[in-house]
Copies of this chain bind each other. A is one copy, B any other.
Amino acid sequence: MQTLKNDRFLKALWRQPVDRTPVWIMRQAGRYLPEYREVRKQAGSFMNLCTNPELACEVTLQPLRRFPLDAAILFSDILTIPDAMGLGLHFVEGEGPKFHRPVRSAAEVKSLPVPDPEDSLAYVMDAVGLIRQRLEGEVPLIGFSGSPWTLATYMVEGGSSKNYGRTKGLLYGDPATAHELLGKLADAVTDYLNAQIARGAQAVQVFDSWGGVLSPETFRDFSLQYMQRIVEGIRPGPDGEPVPIILFSKGCNGHLEALARTGCQALGVDWTISLTEARGRVGDQVALQGNMDPAILLAPRDVVRQEAAKVLESFGHGTGHVFNLGHGITPDVDPEHLGTLVGAVQEMSVEYHRA
């Protein structure tokens, strides 16, 4: 494989010196881009887009043609694993993801297979390989998965949820079955991320999108514990080099210290805490990724610049910061505003890395 031309992102994850703060944006390949919407239309459905490696590769590369981003992220969905387990993922317009066969009973959990990623998830692996090839070493490629807890909520609820009543009902009412489900998911996620790494992913991120709906005790037992197991199971890349892992537990600022102790390299941070405080609490155990409120991209461009400056200042001097939003970019953002943001980070971050 090609030598990596821009290793700023990987270096920042390992807290090594960089010339400026690297930047990528969650959901950078997404609906706010007209060229994405064009390919999505061609594909006919969101699932077709995810399962076609050529199209998934194309949309992965689109934002990199527009903006000088420091990383690419695999275009896929977090629910590919439950789909490969046989739950029947589909998308209902305006309602989000749904499963034909939700998992609720102990018997249903017991009969769930742990999928072989090179078999039922081969389309993802093919996309990873193709993206790595087409990237030609310009920037590193990030692989990802949902966290076991987050995947479990969709599998038990049968889709998105407001209160997670069924999943929490299982967790509180039949914790043994909940643990069995989460254990299988931890194994499946570990295999899935290792397969992405084997095909060329140079960093991996675990999205614990719904960790924030749990109490401190249940977060530790039903989400954190399983992410820890994944961190411990991640294998080095094909070159023998260790692959950095980013854990992003949205709405879990109360747990930053515990997340940092899992052995991961970086934590995603949402915008409800200042990076000054987050950095103070995790010290030099991990890098931090974040954390501008995505809604700021809806404000005038001078405000976008000003708020980007605040985020940089809030992390302060030194390495260990990857600039990102605190959540995915929303479809209503004008791409030119993202251009302003990326440019501002490039330009204004240099001073924080002078020796």
Contacts and interface: CB of A to CB of B under 8 A. Distances in A.
B212 A272 contact: yes
Interface string A286-324: 000000011110111001000100100000000000000
A299 B173 contact: yes
Nearest to A333: B165
A214 B172 contact: no
B253 A254 contact: yes
A251 interface: yes
A253 B273 CA distance: 10
A3 interface: no
B216 A273 contact: yes
A274 interface: yes
Contacts of A213: 272
Interface string A217-239: 11100000000000000000000
B215 A271 contact: yes
Contact of A165 (B216, B219, B295, B310): B295
Given A299-B173, A303-B173, A214 B272 contact: yes
B296 A168 contact: yes
- Main secondary structure on chain A at its contact with chain B? helix
Given A272-B212, A295-B165, A251 B254 contact: no
Interface string A227-260: 0000000000000000000000001011000000
A165 B32 CA distance: 14
A341 to B, nearest CB: 13
Nearest to A273: B254
Nearest to A310: B217
A163 interface: yes
A292 to B, nearest CB: 9
A340 to B, nearest CB: 13
Contacts of A215: 271-272, 274, 293
A36 interface: no
A332 interface: yes
A331 to B, nearest CB: 10
Which of A215, A216, A274, A330 counts the most chain B CB atoms within 10 A?
A215
A301 to B, nearest CB: 10
Given A163-B330, A173-B298, A251-B272, 18 more contacts: A163-B294, A163-B295, A165-B332, A168-B296, A168-B299, A172-B295, A172-B303, A172-B307, A173-B299, A173-B303, A212-B251, A214-B272, A215-B274, A216-B273, A216-B274, A217-B274, A217-B310, A219-B272
25 contacts: A163-B295, A164-B295, A165-B295, A165-B298, A166-B298, A168-B293, A168-B296, A172-B295, A172-B298, A172-B303, A172-B307, A173-B298, A173-B303, A212-B251, A212-B272, A214-B272, A215-B272, A215-B293, A216-B272, A216-B274, A216-B277, A217-B274, A219-B272, A254-B272, A254-B277
